Structure 1
């Protein structure tokens, strides 16, 4: 059984926001043993979940693990993404899937929050509202 990992965010009308999931997918591909890693969007941007599922299957995947790229277990992470994945997988007989919990509360996330805070503290003080 060939595995694929799909990382799914909400999707945005802002292109730069959509680039994040692709960049994270590239990092995960470099650092994991998944033969296929694809970033996708629940709505508003391409690739859609259906397109990502089709791409993974075309690349030989028969089992998909889907990680909602979201912090909280809200409706999108617990209902919408699983439903959209199920609909897409139904078009590909013999393909199975599981949806992971969203990123949520985790020690590694706490470390990331601390790292971002330290980055901001090292930045020059000014009236800028741009993230550092």
Structure 2
């Protein structure tokens, strides 16, 4: 069974915006060499989520976890992502696909962000 983790981000016009997400991808990949870790975007950047999934399936991946790299569960996560996922499931009916909560909703991520807020005051 080949597994993948897709970090799903919004996307932006400035290519430099993707740098922290690329670092996150690279660090996650280093911790999980047996899992393919990739980035996909909602808009403005490539690859978009459906194209990223097509490439993973073509590479033999049959189990994918999509992790929204959003601070909260807004419209993109609650409305847009489920619509995109339905299209992906229709295109790849044998693919095991799990969507997890937005990264910013995780208590450990919240704790790390709180620590950064406190440290920012010196």
Asked if TM exceeds 0.5, the reply is yes
Tell me the residue number matched to 1:91: 91
67-76 vs 53-62, which moves further: 53-62
Structure 1, residues 52-82: CA drift from partner, whole Å, max 9, x if none? 1012112211111100000111111122112
Query: Paired residue for 1:55?
Result: 55
Match of 2:76, SS? helix
Moved more, 59-68 or 101-110: 101-110
Hey, what's the Cα distance between the residues in 1 that align with 2:121 and 2:31? 29
RMSD: 2.0
Provide TM-score, normalisation by structure 1.
Answer: 0.79
**TM-score normalised over the length of structure 2:** 0.85
* Aligned position for 1:79: 79
Q: Hey, which of these two has a bigger chunk of helix by percent?
A: 2
Point out the more displaced range, 6-15 or 96-105: 96-105
**CA separation in 1, counterparts of 2:48 and 2:35?**
20
Residue in structure 2 matched with residue 4 of structure 1 by the alignment: 4
The 5 A counterparts of 1:1-132 are 1-32=1-32, 34-103=34-103, 104-115=105-116, 117-118=118-119, 120-121=120-121
How many angstroms apart in 2 are the aligned matches of 1:106 and 1:34?
26
Q: Find runs of 4+ consecutive structure 1 residues off by over 4 angstroms.
A: none
Of structures 1 and 2, the one with the larger relative CO (CA 8 A, separation 6+) is 2
